[in-house]
Structure 1
Amino acid sequence: MSKNTTTWFTSWFDTPFYHILYKDRDHTEAHKFMDALTSYLNLPETGTILDLACGKGRHSLYLNTLGYDVTGVDLSENSIAYAKQFENHRLKFDVHDMCKPYHKQFDAVFNLFTSFGYFDKNEDNLNTIKAIKSDLNEFGFGVIDFMNSEFVIDNLVPEEQKTVDNIVFNLKRYVEDGYVIKDIAFAHEGENYNYQERVRAFTLKDFELLFEQANVHLLDVFGDYKLRKFNPKTSERLVMIFK
């Protein structure tokens, strides 16, 4: 039997296999990024942060330990159900569609780890930035941490096999119709699974156009988690600060 789905971000993120495949993500690097970012933004000591598309809440949890009042939201009901076990009076999780404004304003809205550009309709990408703007208070900052598409495409590994928890994941990566695509195939307990990740290969210029349309102002652009200067050819990340 084969299970196949390509409406990918509403299904793949809700599977346990997504979290198995990416279980080795670097928490130390993520923590240092949050340290650098909150310090750079000079957020109030007990400031409020919306972690938009938070997954299981790894960034939210750490930001909360730094003293911030954090709300983590994600479309994945399973991820939010998992994250809710860590809630406290200054850490909350909620199922929410990031295309729509949340019912509260914050000192900062963080959209981290390339959690943007999933949508087929460009208006949904624009609506997400408009929603971020409406979720910011008068002094708030928006942050989008995206892949540097040019660098990613130049360094794409077309095929890779990765074994995690005795599951052999076969990965194929390619660029098609302006998307960076990853096909993920594996077998588990006698069933074959096929999933796909599709992310729009947005460049800084593409974001600048979206920001202009959403009437937000780009303040700074960084190229990595140490907040070093962005270089379109060599930077691994595209970290944008706006308001």
Structure 2
Amino acid sequence: MWYENFFNGLVQEAWKAGQTDEQTELECDFLHDTLDVQPGGRVLDIFCGHGRHALELARMGYSVTGVDISTESIGELRTEAKREKLAVEAISGDFMTLPIEGGFKAAYCLGNSFSFFPHDQMLFFLQKIAGLLPVGGRFVADTAMIAESVLPDFEERSWMQIGDITFLMENEYDARESCITAHLTYLRSDQTQRRKSRHYIYTVAELHRLFQKAGLTITELLGNLDGSDFLLGDERLLLVARKKI
């Protein structure tokens, strides 16, 4: 998979520079209000990155397990959790293939990492999450790569400045696969790093059917952390689901 060797170097630096402490606090407050888990309960952070949510939730009293394929990110998370003596378990590896024991009260996948998989793999991904949750356990996903968000204003090329890193994205949309292949270039002084990513684009209705097959029921479709309903053209979808009986 493309993401196996993607998350390192300037990619990671640009991602971290693009997040703010205020954003992290707002998102963790949202998780606290939405996951329906008392502090001390075990929660699973899927594709946790360097752990900005895992660390903040642990500071709030939760016991957090974070999983990420980037050894660079997991190393940072372990170092910070150890330094602060936080209840964080950081697991390095591919969530899709790792054996993970259950016992979690809830799970979440934030940071726009929810669109990596084509249909069959997405179903497996959701089934694995459902298998780690108790009946009624909640799962929260966050994505900007939903059809109702991306396609109305699809951009083939865009530039962004993130701190001292210049970021160029060139997108190709494959309608047969409902997939965006992005050719990414990261520039800083005399450094140039190139990556390629693939994001599979689902409609909300398609996700609803996949969640149902996986044993999860979508209960809320939100367009913002303030709880407003998701609408066509919104830049972000926050999806809340429960494990079915």
Is TM-score (shorter-chain normalized) higher than 0.5? Answer: yes
- Within a 5 Å distance, the mapping from 1:69-108 to structure 2 comes to 69-87=63-81, 88=85, 90-100=87-97, 102-108=100-106
Q: How many residues align?
A: 234
Deviation at 1:205, TM superposition (A): 1.1
Q: Distance in 2 between matches of 1:194 and 1:80?
A: 22
Q: Distance in 2 between matches of 1:198 and 1:189?
A: 27
Q: Distance in 1 between matches of 2:223 and 2:192?
A: 38
TM-score by length of 1: 0.86
Aligned partner of residue 6 in structure 2, secondary structure: helix
- Mark the CA change 1:186 to 1:42 in structure 2 (over 3 Å): closer, same or farther: closer
In the alignment, structure 1 segments of 5+ residues that lack a partner are 1-6
Deviation at 1:166, TM superposition (A): 4.3
- Mark the CA change 1:50 to 1:191 in structure 2 (over 3 Å): closer, same or farther: same
Who is 1:123 aligned against?
A: 120
**Any conservation in 1 of the 2:152–2:233 contact (CA below 8 Å)?**
no
Aligned partner of residue 89 in structure 2, secondary structure: strand
Deviation at 1:62, TM superposition (A): 1.0
Who is 2:204 aligned against?
A: 204
Who is 2:195 aligned against?
A: 195
Cα deviation, 1:175-212, whole Å, max 9, x if unaligned, reads 22311332112456867532112111112111112112
- Mark the CA change 1:41 to 1:81 in structure 2 (over 3 Å): closer, same or farther: closer
Q: Which range moves more in the overlay, 25-34 or 46-55?
A: 25-34
Aligned partner of residue 43 in structure 1, secondary structure: coil
**Match status 1:26 vs 2:40:** no
Letter of the 1:107 counterpart: K
Deviation at 1:84, TM superposition (A): 0.7
Q: Distance in 2 between matches of 1:235 and 1:117?
A: 17
Deviation at 1:163, TM superposition (A): 4.1
Letter of the 1:18 counterpart: V
**Match status 1:161 vs 2:159:** yes
Cα deviation, 1:142-162, whole Å, max 9, x if unaligned, reads 112122432222233332333
**Any conservation in 2 of the 1:150–1:203 contact (CA below 8 Å)?**
yes
Letter of the 2:238 counterpart: V
CA RMSD of aligned residues (A): 2.3
Who is 2:233 aligned against?
A: 234
